[in-house]
Chains A and B, each alone.
Chain A
Amino acid sequence: MTATFLPWIVVLMIAVAGVQIGRRLRLWRRGQPAPVDWLGGLRALPKRYLVDVHHVVERDRAAAKMHVPLAGGLVAACGFLLIGLVTGLTAWRFFWALVTLAFLAMTAGALLEIRRRYPRRLARLSGGSWQTFPFALIAFAIASGLSALFATFGNALPALELLTLILAAVGGVALAATAAEGPMRHALAGATHLVVHPRPQRFGGGRSTELKPLDLDAEKLGTETPADFAWNRLVAFDACVQCGRCEAACPAFAAGQPLSPKHLIADLAAASAGGERPPYHGNPYPNARPVGGRIGLHAPIVSAEGVIHPDTLWSCTTCRACVEECPMMIEHVDTIIDLRRFQTQERGAIPLKAEEPLANFRGCDEPNGRVLAERTDFAAGLKLPVIAAGGQTDVLLWLGQAAFDLRGQRTLTALIRILTAAKVDIAVLGADERDCGDLARRLGDEATFQRLASANVAALASVRFRRILTADPHALHVLRNEYPAFGGTYEVVHHTAFLAELAAAGRIPLSPLAGRSITYHDPCYLGRYNGEVEAPRRLLDALGLERHEMARSGKRAMCCGGGGGAPVADIPGDTRIPDLRMAQAAETGAKTVAVACPQCAAMLEGVTGERPVVKDVAELFLEAIEAAAMRPAEAVRALEVEPA
């Protein structure tokens, strides 16, 4: 009986799921066209799923232990049954033993999933249909498993077998029925998403973090309604499994700002369907701003009447922690920027405090309204040649926004001093260096960004250099990864990597800063955006510092709150992101937080009260040089060190 019916139950499930997902498919097709390499995507699917996705899933061991047998069991069992149906292997008892084992594995996985939700659900998981979903899974798994078991041992108890088969059919169809609006959607949409992913470069160990240029001649700039998203982005929203890893990693959520990446993606998935807004069973947006909740393929998403409040949109620091954590490979930051682009460029609906920097960009090519020639003011007492058009240098120092800020100037001064001591051939563009455009772009002002990018690319084309050095990871990211789209391809090196090279080359005598305990805070735009987490640590170790790691470090480090224009958007929450991050740093017991980004320095130094001191790695490096340069007369007191 099982041999006859169970494979057909699977076929039935596929049919039901097909019909269901077909409804979503029709929705996806309403999205904007996007270039997709179907064949390549399909070919790469197994590897993307088994390697790339698993790599993310595995970071949460318990989740991996649950998902591997659950999904593996389900796919294997169904796969076997379909193979059996085609090949006639169903007549073979050993075949049924295999099927039983597969369902057994699935049962074990489903039990683990139940364990994650009962007696109390992990805070980041969603309830509702997600909470009952494992029961459908386990019902299907046990009933099908028992049926398969019966088939293994012959038709011993036909009545019971009939019952288990009926149960299996009910469970299976119930599962398949959730493929449009319920939990099973993640599997089908997720697999599709892996095939048609908008950033195929990120798979197979690659990296793709640059924002894509917007066609400024388009009829509509940015995304207003679900229909304005590229169709494969709509697929991405449907792929969300509501595991909440993004939410747990989100700094804005932690600070009580009205943003949860999970909620946002769920809202976007819901928005495209239209009709009644489906209930959401995860954590609400912290301090949620009321919204009307109007949804629909052509309904504006971000508005007080829509599903997403503008404050949610502007809370994002673009730190990519959500993207880094998402097992479904969803690109939350792209989505937020798409939405911001419409708000800024079509509606001018930007946060109050963001108006000034954007206006300044237009007048001054710089967000603080300063004269570009003033960028080198701070370096008046230092050796810092300005390169003229046609000039040549080995290293072109990109000063960035830090040059206008007292705190940033301290870092840059230290860096210039080091470079001078190391006799590195450096120069700056001077008044020809415009802002890199990071802030404008993240605030959605793509037109300003593109204008600045083109101007900077032209300025860089007028001089000759081997590579660009910068102490600003935001500038680094934009110059290295986003300017190629505007015709500028450069070797860009961050000062942490450059200084690590210097230290390794032994070109400057360094005296170890022994006895100083530090913790290193990874800048998002260096670590997550550019994968550079080793060089800064190598450098700090070379300086003889006692390094303590925060619980969240490297590519999984928490943001300081300074990126993506969040400081100028200034959306209030319960606390401030840098306060949270500083508390994590203090927890290590380190007396110094080493930073490598002017935004991080500013944000963390803005934390009041007792806290570790904030030093850029360049400042620490300079201290080590100065300690080594101690005059012989003072060497008598070699045991004594200058206070920090």
Chain B
Amino acid sequence: MIANADALLKPLTIKGLTIRNRVMSTSHAPSYGKDGKPQERYQLYHEEKAKGGIGLTMFGGSSSVSVDSPAAPWNQISVADDSVVPFFREFSGRIHRHGAKLMIQLTHMGRRTKWDTEHWLPVKSPSVTREPASRAMAKALEQEEIDRIVADFAAAAKRCQEGGLDGCEISAAHGHLVDQFWSPHSNKRSDKYGGSLDNRMRFGIEVLTAMRAAVGDDFVIGIRMSGDEMLKGGLSHEDCVAIAADYAGRGLVDFLNIMGGQARDHIAHAVSLPNMSFPVAPFLALPSAIKREVDVPIFHAQRVTDLATGARAVAEGHVDMIAMTRAHIADPHLVKKLSEGRADDIRQCVGAGYCIDRIYVGGDALCIQNAATGREATMPHVIKKAAATKTAVVIGGGVGGLEAARVLAERGHQVTLFEKSDRLGGQVNLASKATWREALSGIPRWLTGQVQKLGVDIRLNTEANEAEIAALAPDIVIVATGGLPQKGEASGFDHAVTTWDVLEGRSEPSGSVLLYDEIGGHNAASTAEHLAKKGCLVEIVTHDRMIGEEIGPTNQPVHLRELYKLGVLMTPNAELIEIYPEGNRLIAALRNTMTDAEEERVVDSVVVDYGTQPVDGLHFKLKDKAKNKGLTDLKALIDGRPQPFETNGAAPRGEGRAGGYTLYRIGDAVAGRNIHAAIYDALRLCKDL
């Protein structure tokens, strides 16, 4: 039981609306929208949180009110016409059934969007400016356009009300149109909307006034805004407090949803969505300060990953509602587990930012560690018991093997887990050794706790072999033996060590280090940072167009910031072609991938990252005797049906065994990928075994 749990579980009444507890999820764009509507996938994703006990779930981050604020980027929702209302009705019914409340965020993105999407309309802003992050040159709004957008906001609010939503907020954060008017950085107007703060606040006042007129007094309307843009020439903390106090004082808003920072460029964006390099609740002081100036409830999100922190924030009076948005992506049953006294079972967000990073590169939001999130139609958050108990062996205690063991044990099977090393967690243990990536260790920590609790027979320091597996007479064998690093094909590669060697301490380079990265992930970037912090002079070289090209936009800027600060030399567009010794040093030959020009570096060490090769020896030894020849039936896997040869749910125990075992390979033992892939491999296979 956490301290101050009572504070979290106390209802909050805003106007006539009673929210059952103080835990919420803020509006965000998981990219689940379809045709601009929140359809089944979107609704199920939020319904899971409602089932899980959340008080208020807000959806539709940046839902657009106007046609010139397109909904297409990140598959958002358009509230610009009436066709969305039936979806809202279905959605709100689904959430209310579980006792939770549902709100949406409405916005006009202004210049913070793209013009080359569904309607090919130029982006709009108070003035002709360009936001570095969204890269579009804006058209300055004319008075008639302002009036039209104000009316669009009002019409959208009315649609929310008609759709049975419990309220809405407008976004005036992250550089949307309302705060583009507020910020002198983007508002260069000289009319009644520009100049003084009073003038800059005018547009938002007109929007909120029109919305209120459209929906009446009872409908809850709030605003999401920054408490400090932390930007030279932007809105200061004092400006933000003044705006909040003014809007609240006018009775325009029923709640204030305060965040810190802004998102005009890559690093600002990364800071506004703090990843694991930040402490928890880094901006809690901002809502706390504003709460002292207003008498409407204050909401706040930003890396509140654990209930204890959330409870403290509420109990100490910094905020009225604590938003744990990414925490719910990791575990939508957070509040339920708290109130059931199962806080230890909460899968805590580690702050990897995998969810949000995916949407900025055109993907859908997925959780690095919970493969069921966003896949509620097919993947269970609560694993159902199988009718027949089987004996299962899982080989490899990395996160894939752990997830397989967890799911199989939840199914009621008897599971034995072999792990060659003395510790569960596999490659994640390695990754978490590199500087701020330490929080990744939370992923295997939770999985380990669960498999222990479920009574999995965990055999550490034990390399599984055929005889030992046969002795267990298993029905199911899962090979999750992971991968091992390779040194690539450059001539003289033996002179190199891998990033694994460095992080595991087998190699301790000093002096000058050339780190060659063929993968573009966190591995090389964080190893470079690790080496530089140990005093090495590091040059990171990559084949890609930039360093850490595969790393998402809330993480890559943090890597770059740290590498710059540490003086790491970054050399993109170069390939490592040869390594050879000269004296007691090494020569690394590089080829510029654009010009083919070659150059050399004289260094003390060469460290490489070429990803992993599967460890599959045992798999091939077991394959021939397996009923399914070690092959996963992909169609059955995708359809969520039991695998062939599996007698799940029908055959009594032992019948499967009579015919031997089935064998499956998951995670990096198949092909080197990432944490989510290994966990999803395990979940979607094992849930039907």
Query: Are A and B bound to each other?
Result: yes
A residues near B (Cβ < 8 Å) are 374, 377-378, 380-382, 406-407, 409-410, 605, 637, 639-643
Contact check, A380 vs B11: say whether CB atoms are below 8 A apart. Answer: yes
Partner of B340, one of A410, A637, A642: A410
From 539 to 586 in chain B, residues with beta carbon under 8 angstroms from any chain A beta carbon are none
Partner of A642, one of B9, B20, B385: B385
Contact check, A381 vs B99: say whether CB atoms are below 8 A apart. Answer: yes
B673 at the A/B interface (Cβ < 8 Å)?
no
Contact check, B649 vs A380: say whether CB atoms are below 8 A apart. Answer: no
Question: Which residues of chain B are within 8 angstroms of A640 by Cβ–Cβ distance?
Answer: 384-387, 649
Known: A380-B19, A381-B98. A641 touches B385 (CB 8 A): yes
Known: A380-B20, A642-B385. A410 touches B339 (CB 8 A): yes
Contact check, B341 vs A641: say whether CB atoms are below 8 A apart. Answer: no
B491 at the A/B interface (Cβ < 8 Å)?
no
How far apart are the CA atoms of A410 and B336 in the complex, in Å?
10
Partner of A406, one of B5, B55, B98, B387: B5
Question: Which residues of chain A are within 8 angstroms of B5 by Cβ–Cβ distance?
Answer: 406
How far apart are the CA atoms of A642 and B385 in the complex, in Å?
6
Number of A-B residue pairs having CB atoms within 8 Å of each other in the complex: 53
How far apart are the CA atoms of A641 and B649 in the complex, in Å?
11
List of 3 A-B pairs having minimum Cβ-Cβ separation, nearest first? A381-B99, A381-B20, A380-B11
Contact check, A406 vs B341: say whether CB atoms are below 8 A apart. Answer: yes
Question: Which residues of chain A are within 8 angstroms of B383 by Cβ–Cβ distance?
Answer: 643
Question: Which residues of chain A are within 8 angstroms of B352 by Cβ–Cβ distance?
Answer: none
B 16-60 binary contact with A (CB < 8 Å = 1; else 0): 001111000000000000000000000000000000000100000
How far apart are the CA atoms of A377 and B386 in the complex, in Å?
37
26 contacts between A and B (CB under 8 A): A377-B9, A377-B10, A377-B11, A378-B339, A380-B20, A380-B21, A380-B55, A380-B99, A381-B98, A381-B100, A382-B99, A406-B9, A406-B341, A410-B339, A410-B340, A605-B341, A637-B384, A639-B649, A639-B650, A640-B385, A641-B384, A642-B385, A643-B382, A643-B383, A643-B385, A643-B410
B 251-267 binary contact with A (CB < 8 Å = 1; else 0): 00000000000000000
Question: Which residues of chain B are within 8 angstroms of A639 by Cβ–Cβ distance?
Answer: 387, 649-650
A522 to chain B, nearest CB (A): 23
Question: Residue on B with the closest CB to A644?
Answer: B385
From 640 to 684 in chain B, residues with beta carbon under 8 angstroms from any chain A beta carbon are 649-650
B631 at the A/B interface (Cβ < 8 Å)?
no
A600 to chain B, nearest CB (A): 15
How far apart are the CA atoms of A348 and B650 in the complex, in Å?
67
Question: Which residues of chain B are within 8 angstroms of A637 by Cβ–Cβ distance?
Answer: 384, 649
B 393-435 binary contact with A (CB < 8 Å = 1; else 0): 0000000000000000010000000000000000000000000
How far apart are the CA atoms of A642 and B5 in the complex, in Å?
27
How far apart are the CA atoms of A378 and B382 in the complex, in Å?
24
How far apart are the CA atoms of A406 and B100 in the complex, in Å?
18
Question: Which residues of chain A are within 8 angstroms of B11 by Cβ–Cβ distance?
Answer: 377, 380
B1 at the A/B interface (Cβ < 8 Å)?
yes
Known: A637-B649, A640-B385, A642-B382. A380 touches B18 (CB 8 A): yes
Question: Residue on B with the closest CB to A410?
Answer: B340
B435 to chain A, nearest CB (A): 38
Contact check, B339 vs A409: say whether CB atoms are below 8 A apart. Answer: yes
B382 to chain A, nearest CB (A): 7
How far apart are the CA atoms of A605 and B341 in the complex, in Å?
10
Given contacts A409-B9, A605-B341, 12 further A-B pairs with CB under 8 A are: A380-B18, A380-B19, A380-B99, A381-B98, A381-B100, A410-B341, A640-B384, A640-B385, A640-B649, A641-B385, A642-B385, A643-B382
How far apart are the CA atoms of A497 and B92 in the complex, in Å?
36
Contact check, A406 vs B1: say whether CB atoms are below 8 A apart. Answer: yes
How far apart are the CA atoms of A643 and B55 in the complex, in Å?
25
How far apart are the CA atoms of A390 and B27 in the complex, in Å?
43
Question: Which residues of chain B are within 8 angstroms of A380 by Cβ–Cβ distance?
Answer: 11, 18-21, 55, 99
How far apart are the CA atoms of A59 and B384 in the complex, in Å?
47
A226 to chain B, nearest CB (A): 46
Question: Which residues of chain A are within 8 angstroms of B18 by Cβ–Cβ distance?
Answer: 380
Question: Which residues of chain B are within 8 angstroms of A409 by Cβ–Cβ distance?
Answer: 9, 339
A54 to chain B, nearest CB (A): 47
